[in-house]
Amino acid sequence: MVGPSFAVRGEAADSPANRLRVAVVGVNGRGRRLTDVFSRLPGCEVGWVCDVDSRLLDRAAAVAEGAQGKKPETETDFRRLLDNPAVDAVVVVTPDHWHAHMGVWACQAGKHVYVEKPCSHSPREGEILVEAARKHKRVVQMGNQRRSWPMLQEAVELIRNGEIGEVHHARSWYANARAPIGRGRVTDAPDGLDFDLWQGPAPRRPFQDNLIHYNWHWFWHWGTGEAGNNAIHGIDVAIWGLGLDGKHPTRVTSTGGRYYHDDDWETPDTQMLGYEYGDGKKITWEGFSCNRLGAMGSGFGVTFHGSEGSIMIEAGNVYRVYDGNGRELRRVTPESDPADQLAGARYSRDAGHAHDFLECVRNGGVPASDIGQGHISTTAQHLGNIAQRVGRTLECDPANGHILNDPEAAGYWSREYEPGWELKA
Ligand SMILES: NC(=O)c1ccc[n+]([C@@H]2O[C@H](COP(=O)([O-])OP(=O)(O)OC[C@H]3O[C@@H](n4cnc5c(N)ncnc54)[C@H](O)[C@@H]3O)[C@@H](O)[C@H]2O)c1
């Protein structure tokens, strides 16, 4: 099946005939935000909002209607959207265990895909998603929006041009103060929630009352922990700035654990990840899910350490330059962000990335966070979690990230599925 091809830009793109019609799938926290963002963009209409929790649909539809003046249709089963030729693209904002399936099936149905990070629940799923994107010639952008932020693009350019000399190390971190999730009780799922379809590809487990929404992040069965939730943002910027796009690490380490609360949370709340790349370049990430003290006054950051100075990326679209003695030379903020004009300043950080995706769908370009690199950056985060789970350093093939000489660790490259839900490109 071949998707629509738009060769128009600017005002022409915004005419109803040329408008791209997208379906947003999973409309709770992040999905409601992206519903708002996409429905504000020129040349785009959110035609459908979809969620297995029908209690969320009216609110999401109202958000889109408020922004674009037209109410989207509502849907509870994603698979029906695939049969609808009017859907040009899907925006996948479900829990992680669904991302690759939705992305692959959408490509197979001729839809373009904006898939939230992490693009997969296991590295194998990412490989299949890349294969599907190429095979079906679809634009697939991952939602690590920092790749589209102008100040970060400028900072990366400076690093590449030698502003801070030779750079071997990037450090990244994330800090938050997340509350405990308690001990879940096995109960019936709430009315309006199709828990069977929520589980989708994941082997079935009974519903428990501390899982939905959001806390699935901290269960390996559905989530990828703080690494998949936030290390992915920092590590991806580090990879980008160090010029490591296209490469996987050769060695990966992790230390940490669930230390702060006695509850059902399985993934680490405190984690230190370390990556070595073959050419003397290194990345670290520190995650503090239960303590807000990050570093350098910021709960999120990436620092690049060069022979003649350093560059720090802040949580927002801002960077700082330091001399070789750690003295701050300048803090660079955007004078104006072109994305402000697209959807309003409140939305600009997400709008630029979403707009980039839509432009590539129209013009056939390669998006800022094409799924090829999205998969590689996501795999770095997965490898960190695998090192954590087996409790030892991983040796990896830099060409494809595959784990060497460790069958137990390599067993985490893919996951088990509910029978009948195996994924194929
Ligand atoms: N790029 C970013 O900055 C950013 C920020 C936040 C979240 N995210 C990502 O967005 C995703 C969603 O995160 P969240 O915090 O909104 O989670 P959430 O649990 O609050 O929302 C997920 C929604 O998906 C729905 N859903 C589950 N299975 C579905 C299915 N088969 N069909 C349709 N809907 C389904 C759920 O019912 C829920 O409403 C995660 O993968 C997360 O990593 C990205």
Mutate to test the pocket of ligand 1, among 35, 59, 94, 317 (most ligand atoms within 8 A of CB): 94
Mutate to test the pocket of ligand 1, among 24, 30, 59 (most ligand atoms within 8 A of CB): 30
Mutate to test the pocket of ligand 1, among 58, 116, 181, 236 (most ligand atoms within 8 A of CB): 116
Residue 392: DSSP 8-state? S
Ligand 1: distance of its center to the CA of 224 in Å?
13
Phi and psi at residue 229, to the nearest 5°: -80, -45
Compute the average pLDDT of residues 318-341.
92
Ligand 1: distance of its center to the CA of 95 in Å?
4
Residue 13 in this model has a pLDDT that exceeds 60? no
Compute the average pLDDT of residues 212-221.
98
Q: What is the distance between the alpha carbons of residues 177 and 191, in angstroms, rounded to a whole number?
A: 31
Task: Check: pTM over 0.85? Answer yes or no.
Answer: yes
Residue 6 in this model has a pLDDT that exceeds 60? no
Compute the average pLDDT of residues 318-326.
98
- Give Cβ neighbours of residue 157 (< 8 Å, ≥ 6 apart): none
The pairing of strands 403-404 and 44-50 is: unpaired
Instruction: Write b or e for each residue in 123-160: b if 16 or more Cβ atoms lie within 10 A of its Cβ, otherwise e.
Output: bbbbbbbbebbeebebbbbbbbbbbbbbbbbebbebbe
Domain with CATH 3.30.360.10 in the chain: 148-345+372-413
Domain with CATH 3.40.50.720 in the chain: 10-146
Ligand 1: distance of its center to the CA of 282 in Å?
31
Starting at the edge strand found earlier in the chain, the sheet holding 73-75 runs: 73-75, 44-50, 20-25, 89-92, 112-115, 140-142
Tell me if 272 sits within 8 A of 384, measured CB to CB: no
Q: What is the distance between the alpha carbons of residues 138 and 417, in angstroms, rounded to a whole number?
A: 25
**Closest-lying ligand 1 atom to the alpha carbon of residue 50:** 33
Lowest-pLDDT range of 81-85, 205-209, 321-325, 338-342:
338-342
Dump pLDDT digits (tens) for 368-392: 999 999 999 999 999 999 999 999 9
**Closest-lying ligand 1 atom to the alpha carbon of residue 214:** 19
Ligand 1: distance of its center to the CA of 30 in Å?
6
Dump pLDDT digits (tens) for 153-202: 999 999 999 999 999 999 999 999 999 999 999 999 999 999 999 999 99
* 350, containing H or E segment: helix 348-363
Percent of the chain with pLDDT over 70: 96
For ligand 1, whether the C-beta of 385 sits within 6 Å is: no
Percent of the chain with pLDDT over 90: 91
Beta-bridge partner residues of 306: 167
Q: Whose CA is nearest to atom 6 of ligand 1?
A: 30
For ligand 1, whether the C-beta of 94 sits within 6 Å is: yes
What per-residue confidence (pLDDT) applies to 5? 28
What per-residue confidence (pLDDT) applies to 8? 32
Q: Whose CA is nearest to atom 9 of ligand 1?
A: 116
For ligand 1, whether the C-beta of 78 sits within 6 Å is: yes
**Closest-lying ligand 1 atom to the alpha carbon of residue 99:** 41
Dump pLDDT digits (tens) for 395-416: 999 999 999 999 999 999 999 9
Tell me if 49 sits within 8 A of 24, measured CB to CB: yes
Phi and psi at residue 127, to the nearest 5°: -60, -40
Residue 282 in this model has a pLDDT that exceeds 50? yes
Tell me if 59 sits within 8 A of 33, measured CB to CB: no
Q: What is the distance between the alpha carbons of residues 381 and 134, in angstroms, rounded to a whole number?
A: 23
What per-residue confidence (pLDDT) applies to 305? 98
> Taken in order 405, 407, 409, 413, is the CA torsion positive or negative?
positive
Q: Whose CA is nearest to atom 19 of ligand 1?
A: 214
Dump pLDDT digits (tens) for 32-57: 999 999 999 999 999 999 999 999 99
Could you please state the CATH topology (level 3) that the domain comprising 148-345+372-413 is classified under. Answer: Dihydrodipicolinate Reductase; domain 2 (3.30.360)
Residue 7 in this model has a pLDDT that exceeds 50? no
Ligand 1: distance of its center to the CA of 197 in Å?
14
Q: Token pair for residue 350? A: 């997400």
What per-residue confidence (pLDDT) applies to 14? 61
Phi and psi at residue 323, to the nearest 5°: -85, -175
Coil/strand/helix, residue 91: strand
Dump pLDDT digits (tens) for 104-163: 999 999 999 999 999 999 999 999 999 999 999 999 999 999 999 999 999 999 999 999
Q: What is the distance between the alpha carbons of residues 114 and 85, in angstroms, rounded to a whole number?
A: 18
Residue 9 in this model has a pLDDT that exceeds 70? no
Indicate the class that CATH gives domain 10-146: alpha beta
349 confidence band (pLDDT: 50, 70, 90) = confident
**Closest-lying ligand 1 atom to the alpha carbon of residue 53:** 37
Residue 336 in this model has a pLDDT that exceeds 90? no
- Give Cβ neighbours of residue 141 (< 8 Å, ≥ 6 apart): 113, 114, 115, 353, 356, 357, 360, 367, 368, 369, 370, 371, 374
Tell me if 401 sits within 8 A of 413, measured CB to CB: no
For ligand 1, whether the C-beta of 143 sits within 6 Å is: yes
Lowest-pLDDT range of 3-7, 299-303, 319-323:
3-7
What per-residue confidence (pLDDT) applies to 2? 23
Dump pLDDT digits (tens) for 286-311: 999 999 999 999 999 999 999 999 99
